[in-house]
Chain A
Amino acid sequence: MNVLGDILSLTIIFTVPLLLVALGGMFSERSGVVNIALEGIMVIGALVSFLYMSKIRDSAFAAATPVLATLTGVAVAAVAGMVFALLLAFASIHLKADQTIGGTALNMFAPAFAILLTWTIQGQGQTAIYTPPWARISPTVFGADLQNLNFFQRVFLKEFFITTPLAIFILILVIIVLYKTKFGLRLRSCGEHPQAADSVGVNVYFMRYAGVGISGLLGGIGGFAYALAAGAGFSATVSGYGFLALAVMIFGNWKPLRIVGAASLFAFFKVISAMATAIPFLPSFQKISGGEYIYLMVPYVVTMIVLAFTSKRSRAPKASGIPYDKGAR
C-alpha cells in the first residue's frame, strides 16, 4: 500500500510539468505555430528560476514566506520561458522561417547555455543548482504526522509543491480562456484558418505571438515544476520531458482535458520505470540486467502505438506549422 501511495504521489508531481508544458504546446499549435522548442523552453525556465531561487535561498523573505518566495520563482520561470519562446515566435511568424528548424536551434541552445552560465556563476564543473529546502511543503504544515502518514496523505502530501495546486488552477484557467473568451475564439481561428481570421479583422500575427508567448510562459513554469520534482535540483537538462510533453499534447488531441489524462498516464509510466526495482508486484526481469530500460522505453513505445492508431482521426489544428503570409490568399 505504501509503495502504491509513493507511486501515485510521484505520478502527481511528474504529471504537473507534463501537463503544463503540453498545455503550452497546445496554445502554440492552436494559434498555428508548431512548437518543437518546448524542451529548450523548459530548460531556460528552470535555469533562470533556479538561479533566482538559489540567490534568495538564505534571504529573510524566503525564510518568512517560503510559499510566496516559491511563487516568485514561478513568475521568474514564466517570464524567462516567455522571452525565450519569443525567439521562436519572431523567426517563425515574422520571418516565416521553418518552425521545426528554429525550434531545434533553441533546443540545442538552451542546455549548452545553461552549462555555460552555471559554470560561470557557480564555478567550473558545478552544473547542479540545488533546490532550496523551503521549496518543498512538508506534510507537517497540513498537520500530518511524518512517521505515520495515511494513504491519502501519502498520495497528496508526501511530495507537495506549490506548483501542484497552481497547475490545477492553470488548467481551469486554460479551459475558460480557450473556450469562453473572445481571445480564445480568435486564437483558435488563427490555427485553423488564418485567412478567415484575417478577413474579419483578427490580427493573425498578434494572435500567434500570443500563442507562442503563452506556450513559453507555461513551458517555463513546467521546467520549474520539473526541476522541483526531480529532487536534488537542476542540472542543465529536463531529460526529454519537453519532447514527451509534445507527445502528450498529440495524445491528448489538442484538448485540455484529454491532455490531463495523457499527462498522468505518461507520468505514471515514467515513475514506474524509475521505481521498477522497488515495486514488488511488477515483473522485475531477474534474468536480465538493466530492466529499468524496459520501463523507460514504455512511454515512448506506447506513444508510437497510440499515434499509429489515432493519427488518422487526430484533429491537429489545420494551419499549424504553416507560416501565415498576408500576401498569399
Chain B
Amino acid sequence: MSDYVVEMLHITKDFPGVKANDDITLQLKKGEIHALLGENGAGKSTLMSVLFGLYQPDGGHIKIRAKEVKINNPNDANALGIGMVHQHFKLVEVFTVLDNIILGAEPAKAGFIQRSDAKKRLEKISKQYGLRVEPDALIEDISVGMQQRVEILKMLYRENEILIFDEPTAVLTPQEIEELMVIMRNFAKEGKSILFITHKLNEIMAVADRCTVLRKGCLVGTVEVKNITKEQLSKMMVGRDINFTVKKKQIGKGNKILEVKHLTIASRLHKNNAVKDVSFDVYGGEIVCIAGIDGNGQTELGYGIIGLEKAASGDIVFKGKTITKSAIKKRETEGLSHIPEDRHKYGLILDYSLEENLVLARYRQKDFQKGGFIRFKNIRTYAKKLIENYDIRCGQGAVTKVRSMSGGNQQKAIVAREIDKQPDLLLAVQPTRGLDVGAIEYIHERLVEVRDSGRAVLLISLELDEVMNVPDRILVMYEGEIVAELTPEQTTVEEMGLYMSGVKRQPRFRKATEGLR
C-alpha cells in the first residue's frame, strides 16, 4: 500500500518534432511539498498539463490515490481534487473576483447563479486561510499579488487537495514570495499535497520536501531536498557545472552615451503614469541594469527610449542630441539598437524568412537596396555571414521561415541583427527570457562583448540572477520611479528585494511628489 496521492508513471508525450516528456515518473506523497525543477523547455509544463487534463499522454498512466485514472479535461482533474495556479493567470480581467472564482463551478439553481451563497462561502474560506480578497473588485483593478491570491482561492473554493503551482514566484516581490511560502507550508500541514514547478533553486531549498528534476524531456531523478545542496541540484538540472558569474574586462568609463532627464510616460493600462520623472545616465563601456518586479514601469521606460511610447514630459539625450521626439527610424540610424522583450510581437516577422528578418532594421541601407528595389543577392550574402558568425541554427539556411525556428535561435537572430549594427547603445529588454542555460550564457557573453568594446548596454531584467551578475550598475525601479542605485558587488538579493518592493528607498531618490509644491 503506497502513501502516494499522485503517481504519474512512465509518462511520454510527443509533439511534432519534439519529445516533450520521455518516460517520466513522478510520485507525490500526501502532505508534502514536491518541487519540479528544470530549465525552460525541460518538459515541466507539459507534464503538469498532462496531470491537469490539458494534454493526453502518448504513453504511461496516472494513478490518483492508488487508482488508475484517465484525465480528459480540467473538469476530470477537478473532480479528482487537482487544482492548478497557472504561470500566466487564467483570469478574466473584466469580471469580478467572485465571478472568476466561481466560473466553471457556479452554485446555481435552475441555471441561475446564486452569487450571495457563493460570496458567503468565499468569505468563509478567506477567513480560514487568511487570504483576504475584495469579492466585488474587478481583476483589472487589483495587484498582481492579489490576482495570484484569487487563483489560489479558486482551487480552495473547489476543495482541491492536490495543488499545482506553476512558476508562482515569477511575478512576486521577495517579500510576497516569503508570504507565499508560508501559505504553501500551511496547506501542506493541513494535509494538502503540493506540486511546485520552478527553476529557482533558492525557493526549492526553502520550502520543498522532495524534488524531481527534469532535463530535455527526460527524468534525471527525485531527491530528498534535505540531503542535497544547491550546487548538486543545479548540476542535475543543467547536466554540467554552470558558471554563474560573467567575465568582464577591466575598462574605464567612456563618454556619456545616454542621458534620460525627468522622463515621464503615461500608462496604457491605468490612469497613472507608468514612468514618473526618471533621470539617469549611461556611459560607454558599461552595462546598466534596470531591475524591478514586472509591471513597475520598466517596459514603458524601454519603449520610451526606443520610441514606441511617447514621452509625456522630460527629455532623452542620445550622444548629445535630444531625441525625445524623434521617430524610431531616426533613433536607430543614430546608433540605437533594441532587443525587445517580446520577440514574437516586436522582434521578428515570423512569416518572413530568416534573411528578411536579419535586414529588418537595415534594408534601407545602400547595400541592400538601389532606388527602392531590393538587392536580394547582397541580403543573402549578409545573412549567410550572420548565420555563421552568430551560430544561428536553421533548417534551410537563409530562407528558413523564422516561425519554424526554435526560441533560442530566434533570439540569436535578433541578437545578431541588433549587435551587428554596431550600435552605440544596445537596449536589451529581458534578452534571456524563456531560454535555456546555454543560450543565456551565450547572450550574456555577447552583451559583455558590446560593453568591452567601449559601447553602452542598457539591460532591463526581471531575473535576479541576471541582475546580480551581468551589469556594472543596477537601478531599481518601483512604481515608475527609480528608488535606488546599487553596485552588484556591494549588495545582496535581500537588500535589492526591499528596494524592489518599495520598502526602502535611497535618500537621493526622494519621492517625485515631495518635490512638487
Contact = CB atoms under 8 A, between A and B. Distances in A.
Direct contact of A and B (CB under 8 A): yes
B121 interface: no
A196 B92 contact: yes
Contacts of A329: 54
Which residue of A182, A188, A197 has the most chain B CB atoms within 10 A of its CB atom?
A182
Interface in A192-208: 192-193, 195-202
Interface string A106-146: 00000000000000000000000000000000000000000
A193 B147 CA distance: 15
Contacts of B93: 192-193, 318
A129 to B, nearest CB: 38
B90 A200 contact: yes
B497 to A, nearest CB: 30
Contacts of B91: 193, 196
B399 interface: no
A200 B153 CA distance: 13
B145 interface: no
B84 interface: yes
Nearest to A329: B54
B113 interface: yes
Given A193-B90, A200-B90, A181 B103 contact: no
Contact of B113 (A181, A195, A198): A181
Contacts, number: 69
Query: Chain B interface mostly helix, strand, loop or mixed?
Result: loop
A200 B54 contact: no
B9 to A, nearest CB: 25
Contact of B84 (A183, A185, A198, A199): A199
Given A180-B112, A189-B95, A199 B106 contact: no
A315 interface: yes
Given A185-B103, A189-B103, A201-B73, A196 B90 contact: yes
Interface residues of A, number: 21
Interface in B84-108: 84, 86, 89-95, 99-100, 102-106, 108
B75 interface: yes
A181 B74 contact: no
Contacts of A200: 74, 78, 90, 103-105, 154
Interface string B37-60: 000000000000000101000000
B385 to A, nearest CB: 34
Nearest to B75: A201
B111 interface: yes
Contacts of A186: 103-104
Contacts of A199: 52, 54, 74, 84, 86, 90
A318 B73 CA distance: 24
A180 B91 CA distance: 19
B184 to A, nearest CB: 20
A175 to B, nearest CB: 13
Contact of B111 (A183, A196, A318): A183
A185 B86 contact: no
A315 B102 CA distance: 23
Nearest to A203: B73
Contact of B99 (A185, A195, A202, A318): A185
A284 to B, nearest CB: 47
Nearest to B90: A196
A202 B102 CA distance: 12
Contact of A185 (B74, B113, B154): B113
Given A185-B113, A200-B154, A192 B74 contact: no
Interface in A215-270: none
B103 A315 contact: no
Interface string A157-196: 0000000000000000000000011110110110011011
Contacts of A188: 92, 95
8 contacts: A186-B103, A193-B91, A196-B91, A198-B54, A199-B90, A201-B75, A318-B93, A329-B54
Interface of B: 52, 54, 73-75, 78, 84, 86, 89-95, 99-100, 102-106, 108, 111-113, 154
Give the top 10 A-B pairs by smallest Cβ distance, nearest first. A200-B104, A201-B75, A196-B90, A199-B90, A201-B74, A182-B106, A182-B108, A193-B92, A192-B92, A181-B111
